[in-house]
Amino acid sequence: MLSSAHDGECRGTKIVVLCGGRSAEHEISFLSAAYVVNTLRVAGFDVAVLGIERTGATMEPVRVRQALLQSESVPPEVEFPGADHWITYLLGLSPAEAVVFPVLHGPYGEDGTVQGVLEILGLPYVGAGVGASAVGMNKLYCKGILQSAGLPVLPWLACRREDWRVKAAGFAAAVEQRFGFPVFVKPANLGSSVGVSRCTSFDEIDRAVRQAFEYDEWILAEPGLTAREIEVSVLGGASPRVSVPGEIVPGDVFYSYEAKYLRNDSKLLIPAPLETGQTAEIRRLAGEVFRVLQLDGMARIDFLLDRQENRIWINEPNTIPGFTKISMFPKLWEASGLGGVELVKELIRLARYRRRSRNQLRCSR
């Protein structure tokens, strides 16, 4: 349980929710933001919502409200400030009285760019710092670091767009020779399964690569395991807490964008029906990923459990996990004894603690 002093932090604290953003996950951000905004209001915080256009400009307040209302109702007390630019509004905030809650999925929000702005402004914010956000978003960097730490990540082949234009057939042949089929082709920097394709033959690779390159300059290919999809939520800092695992049973061949957001035939099993040893190992690995990548505040760590070899693989971390009605991050914490209101309070506390710790660092010799 959290202390009554922690509850007192809600009064007089403005939480600024950033949503939208320059990403193919723009719409998903509003689904998450609606949950966050409503939960923060129930928790007693003063909430302001800033929307960011796909161009990076500030969204008109009326459009932000409309985008949130497509998900669920929004309390009338929520503020939708107008500003020449969303950074202009942030410039006027007091670090002692405000906390920023980025609900920005994908590039230009989850990749360290917005976190860098907030660090320069000296504002406390929810989630991982600049470096950890950048690494967590980039699947190539992330895999390399986890592999060097001796953690189990799937083998991969990467390709840059300029190189592929010169030797497209060579990359496809290398993928086939290394992995066989099926294989997954995906952008290196994106989430929500956007731009991800499952290829079952050589002829499908070219189309999949072209699609992935529409979203990023780097792509990667991985073997397409027959696997169970297990997810774990992590919360904290140097000594993170790990939730019970959950399992996603997709209504599609894999947990595609359509299966996540456009259909309702996928199932969430909480807790995941795992053997005791599997549960313990997945939770241990989730904590290791959090520590090795120097994550902070929150993350959802995704795993693949190979059905044939019964082997656990780390899929990827999500440093700004989804907060929609179907999202695992809040659901797993609820199943672990931490409801939505207490969860957002704890995230705000962690953001403030990290800012205080950062302020204690020397900037002179």
What are the tens digits of pLDDT across the range 272-320?
A: 999 999 999 999 999 999 999 999 999 999 999 999 999 999 999 999 9
The residue whose two tokens read 């030797």 is 167
Domain 4-126 has CATH 3.40.50.880: no
Catalytic residue among 25, 111, 222, 231: 25
Phi-psi region of 364 (alpha: psi -120 to 50; beta: other; left: phi over 0): beta
Q: Is 261 a catalytic residue?
A: yes
Residue 19 structure tokens: 């949503």
> Has residue 4 got a pLDDT over 60?
no
The rounded distance, in Å, linking the Cα atoms of 91 and 72 is 30
For position 262, what pLDDT does the model report? 52
The rounded distance, in Å, linking the Cα atoms of 199 and 224 is 8
Omega of the bond prior to 187 within 30 degrees of 0, cis? no
105 three-state secondary structure: coil
Give the confidence band of 228 by pLDDT, cuts at 50, 70, 90. very high
The rounded distance, in Å, linking the Cα atoms of 150 and 143 is 11
For residue 153, the 8-state DSSP code is: B
Of residues 82 and 305, more confidence is placed in: 305
Q: Is 318 a catalytic residue?
A: yes
Q: Is 310 a catalytic residue?
A: no
Catalytic residue among 41, 283, 300, 354: 300
Q: What residue spans define the domains of the chain?
A: 4-126, 136-153+225-319, 157-223
For position 3, what pLDDT does the model report? 42
> Has residue 51 got a pLDDT over 50?
yes
Catalytic residue among 29, 189, 192, 193: 192
* CATH number of the structural domain 136-153+225-319: 3.30.470.20
Catalytic residue among 302, 315, 327, 354: 302
Tens digit of each residue's pLDDT (9 = 90 or more) over 160-209: 999 988 887 889 999 999 999 999 999 998 876 788 999 999 999 999 99
Q: Alpha helices, DSSP H only, in 204-322?
A: 205-213, 257, 276-292
Tell me what percent of the residues of the chain surpass a pLDDT of 70.
93
Specify whether the CB–CB gap between 23 and 31 falls below 8 A.
no
For position 159, what pLDDT does the model report? 96
Tens digit of each residue's pLDDT (9 = 90 or more) over 14-50: 999 999 999 888 998 999 999 999 999 999 999 999 9
Provide the β-strand partners of residue 234: 242, 299
Provide the β-strand partners of residue 187: 219
Task: Return the CATH superfamily for domain 157-223.
Answer: ATP-grasp fold, A domain (3.30.1490.20)
Q: What average pLDDT does range 50-78 have in this prediction?
A: 91
The rounded distance, in Å, linking the Cα atoms of 236 and 290 is 9
Residue 88 structure tokens: 């202009």
Ordered DSSP codes for 63-104: HHHHHHHTTS---TT-B----SSHHHHHHT--TTTEEEEE--
pTM: 0.91
Catalytic residue among 261, 281, 288, 353: 261
Q: Is 316 a catalytic residue?
A: yes
Tens digit of each residue's pLDDT (9 = 90 or more) over 103-116: 999 889 999 999 99
Catalytic residue among 110, 222, 296, 316: 316
The residue whose two tokens read 């950062």 is 358
Specify whether the CB–CB gap between 104 and 52 falls below 8 A.
yes
For position 253, what pLDDT does the model report? 66
Catalytic residue among 318, 327, 342, 355: 318
- Tell me how crowded residue 321 is: count the other CB atoms within 10 A of its CB: 26
Q: What average pLDDT does range 136-142 have in this prediction?
A: 96
Catalytic residue among 322, 327, 340, 354: 322
Specify whether the CB–CB gap between 304 and 361 falls below 8 A.
no
The rounded distance, in Å, linking the Cα atoms of 293 and 283 is 16
Q: How far out from the chain centre does Cα 107 lie?
A: 11
